[in-house]
């Protein structure tokens, strides 16, 4: 063989070797990555080739799958009461992808989970269409409806979270304004435009205010301040005078902070009276005496400063609520009344309230009770899990005593329910140091316990930006407490 032909043969051999190496590389090393790449059209075609399993609330499916028209993606998702349940389900859109439960449990809902391998095999043998499994949630449909109706009747941006204190089950997870995932579930340009319009809406209907946004908690945080003061021995008698003057002079400052109830009631008031009338001076003073480190330590035991998620299923993911590091005395004082640089999600304040009902134990919140195969056999069940012991049983009992007194004699009266033990705390939160010209947020946290011992903890958050209401009329007691009352009734008076 002459030299030019030999070179050509070697070159062709090298090309063949490179081709074989590349083919094997793709087939064995990159196969999984390519097979699951969202840009791979075959992935989408396979994902929507069969009806998805359902997301279940109260033994009824709140999702469905219907055949698409004029698309190679055979089935698209539909939602029942879509706006009410959107913070729970998320969305499964052919064009926009998937979020929340639809995304977390896609393998089960699409029938491709490894635990469904036997069902897939039998379906192939019998010629049946591949079937997806179901996701059974902890949501109480009556509680969800009560929270959603309460916020939408007000026309408010806001959130409602209800928890079962003894287990951590999420009974309601509401965020308004909301959206209907059905309107952009398909793959058309029109549906993409609808999604884009939602993203540009200033009211942020796609936001999950219960889990993914934080706000200053205002006076609802006083229940945690009270718990910290009792736990660290700063307060030993909730009926004794606090010695805190009203108006209260911030440490290292000439600024003073008063209380809406007036100096006559709040001056040197006991912690129990201060909770009843929401006297700022007593809680500012208590936070300073507890100190920044111990206040932060107590807040962290309740769940602050870490992302909240269900460690078993991983189905509930809330961003961290923040109790800051390195606070000076004025900053520490302001956190005592839920202001300053302190922020919280509605989920976090529901967790604080639930822990006090549960004798100081914080349960890991979760929203999925069970994963179920297409033949209704359980794949996985959630077991309640203690997240931490935030305070002692005696501390929790004393805070409950104050909250129940506040409901009977103070600012939380609108949450009272006949035949139910109710504790509550209102909150009106300024948006920040430099935004005092805007209407404040309204908060309310509460719990109810019926004669059978069943309990529920509720946090209601209201952003009145879109409401025709004056600054003077913003109050957690007037706006949020009636919503909490209806949610508690829906759970405890079935």
- 261-307 residue pLDDT tens: 888 899 999 999 999 999 999 999 999 999 999 999 999 999 999 98
- In this prediction the pTM is 0.89
* E strands present in 343-482: 361-363, 368-372, 378-381, 386-389, 421-429, 441-449, 455-463
CA atoms of 217 and 458, how far apart (whole Å) = 14
Report the C-alpha dihedral over residues 211, 217, 219, 222, rounded to 10 degrees. 70
- pLDDT band with cut points at 50, 70 and 90 for residue 112: confident
Catalytic residue chosen out of the listed positions 93, 219, 270, 310: 219
Q: Is residue 444 a contact partner of residue 220, using CB atoms and an 8 Å limit?
A: yes
What is the arithmetic mean of pLDDT over 8-33?
73
Give dist(CA 326, CA 331) in Å, integer: 9
Listed residue (212, 225, 251) closest to 344, CA to CA? 212
Q: Please, what is the average pLDDT of the chain?
A: 89
Domain locations in the chain? 218-368+385-492
* pLDDT tens column, 425-441: 999 888 765 555 678 89
What are the pLDDT digits (tens) for 28-78? 666 555 555 656 667 777 777 788 999 999 999 999 999 887 677 788 999
Q: 368, 438, 447, 456: which is closest to 88 by C-alpha?
A: 368
Verify whether residue 394 is a known catalytic residue: no
For 236-255, the pLDDT digits (tens) are 999 999 999 999 999 988 88
- N- to C-terminal Cα distance for the chain? 93
- For the domain 218-368+385-492, what is the CATH superfamily, name and number? DD-peptidase/beta-lactamase superfamily (3.40.710.10)
179 or 466: which leads in pLDDT: 179
- Phi, then psi, of 308 in degrees rounded to 5: -100, 125
């Amino acid at each position: 063989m002459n030299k030019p032909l030999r070179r050509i043969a070697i070159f062709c051999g090298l090309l063949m070797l490179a081709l074989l190496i590349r083919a094997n590389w793709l087939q064995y090393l990159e196969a999984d990555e390519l097979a699951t790449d969202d840009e791979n059209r075959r992935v989408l075609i396979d994902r929507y080739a069969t009806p998805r399993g359902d997301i279940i609330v109260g033994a009824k499916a709140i999702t469905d799958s219907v055949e698409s028209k004029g698309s190679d993606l055979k089935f698209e998702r539909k939602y029942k009461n879509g706006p009410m349940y959107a913070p729970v389900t998320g969305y499964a859109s052919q064009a926009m992808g998937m979020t929340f439960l639809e995304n977390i449990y896609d393998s089960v809902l699409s029938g491709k989970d490894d635990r469904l391998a036997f069902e897939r095999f039998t379906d192939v043998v019998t010629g049946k269409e591949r079937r997806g499994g179901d996701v059974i949630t902890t949501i109480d449909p009556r509680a969800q409806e009560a929270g959603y109706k309460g916020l939408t009747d007000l026309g408010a941006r806001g959130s409602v979270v209800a928890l079962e204190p003894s287990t951590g089950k999420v009974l309601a997870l509401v965020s308004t304004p909301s959206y209907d995932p059905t309107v952009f579930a398909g793959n058309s340009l029109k549906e993409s435009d609808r999604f884009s319009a939602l993203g540009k809406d200033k009211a942020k209907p796609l936001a999950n205010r219960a889990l993914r946004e934080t706000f200053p908690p205002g006076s609802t945080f006083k229940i945690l301040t009270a718990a910290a003061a009792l736990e660290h021995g700063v307060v030993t008698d909730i009926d004794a005078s606090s010695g805190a003057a009203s108006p209260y002079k911030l440490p290292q400052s000439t600024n003073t902070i008063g209380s809406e109830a007036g100096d006559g009631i709040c001056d040197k008031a006991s912690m129990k009276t201060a909770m009843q009338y929401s006297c700022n001076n007593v809680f500012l003073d208590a936070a300073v005496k507890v100190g920044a480190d111990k206040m932060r330590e107590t807040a962290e035991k309740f769940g602050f400063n870490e992302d909240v998620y269900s460690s078993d299923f991983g189905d509930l993911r809330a961003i961290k609520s923040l109790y800051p590091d390195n606070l000076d005395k004025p900053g520490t004082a302001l956190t005592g009344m839920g202001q300053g640089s302190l922020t919280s999600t509605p989920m976090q304040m529901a967790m604080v309230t639930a822990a006090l009902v549960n004798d100081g134990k914080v349960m890991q919140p979760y929203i999925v009770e069970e994963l179920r195969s297409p033949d209704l056999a359980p794949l996985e069940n959630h077991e309640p899990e203690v997240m931490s012991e935030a305070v002692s049983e005696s501390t929790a009992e004393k805070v409950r005593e104050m909250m129940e007194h506040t409901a009977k004699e103070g600012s939380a009266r609108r949450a009272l329910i006949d035949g139910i033990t109710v504790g509550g705390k209102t909150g009106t939160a300024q948006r920040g140091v430099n935004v005092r010209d805007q209407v404040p947020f309204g908060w309310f946290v509460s719990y109810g316990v019926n004669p059978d011992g069943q309990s529920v903890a509720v946090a209601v958050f209201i952003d009145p930006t879109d409401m025709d209401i004056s600054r003077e009329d913003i109050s957690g007691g007037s706006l949020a407490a009636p919503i909490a009352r209806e949610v508690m009734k829906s759970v405890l008076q079935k």
